[in-house]
């Protein structure tokens, strides 16, 4: 007669346990900056003419109509946008090992003798 018993053999198998993905999306926010701007203004200056300056006075003593024009300039704010790479993102995997405890019932055969049997074993 052969006596047998169950023995546990524990191993692992690989199966899909989930998914992960990267998704890129765009948000928009208002950014405010202050920039100084310069502009020209017309300034009227008057000065009296002295007796020494009469000869140098423009146009002389004649009465006439004339115009003088100056071109005024101003700076205006200018906005330029450029795209700059700021970060590289990768999605990968890493393997971590954890211990899991398994319990399972195992069966064992037992042999008993009845009657006049000598109990020697080989």
CA dist 5 and 110 (Å) reads 9
Q: Distances in Å between the alpha carbon of 26 and those of 23, 29, 86? A: 10, 10, 14
**What does the pLDDT read at residue 49?**
82
Q: Going residue by residue through the chain (122 aa), what tens digit of pLDDT does each one get?
A: 899 999 999 999 999 999 999 999 999 999 999 999 999 999 999 988 887 777 676 655 677 788 999 999 999 999 999 999 999 999 999 999 999 999 999 999 999 998 887 766 65
**What does the pLDDT read at residue 42?**
97
């Amino acid at each position: 007669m052969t006596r047998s018993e169950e023995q546990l053999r524990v191993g692992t198998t690989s199966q899909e346990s989930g998914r992960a993905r990267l998704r890129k999306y765009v948000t928009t926010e208002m950014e405010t900056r202050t920039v100084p701007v310069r502009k020209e203004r017309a300034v009227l200056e008057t000065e009296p003419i002295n007796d020494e300056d009469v000869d140098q006075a423009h146009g002389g003593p004649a009465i006439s109509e004339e115009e003088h024009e100056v071109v005024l300039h101003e700076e205006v704010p200018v906005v330029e946008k450029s795209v700059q790479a700021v970060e590289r993102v990768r999605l990968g995997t890493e393997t971590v090992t954890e211990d899991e405890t398994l319990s399972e019932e195992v069966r064992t055969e037992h042999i008993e003798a009845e009657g006049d049997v000598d109990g020697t074993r080989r």
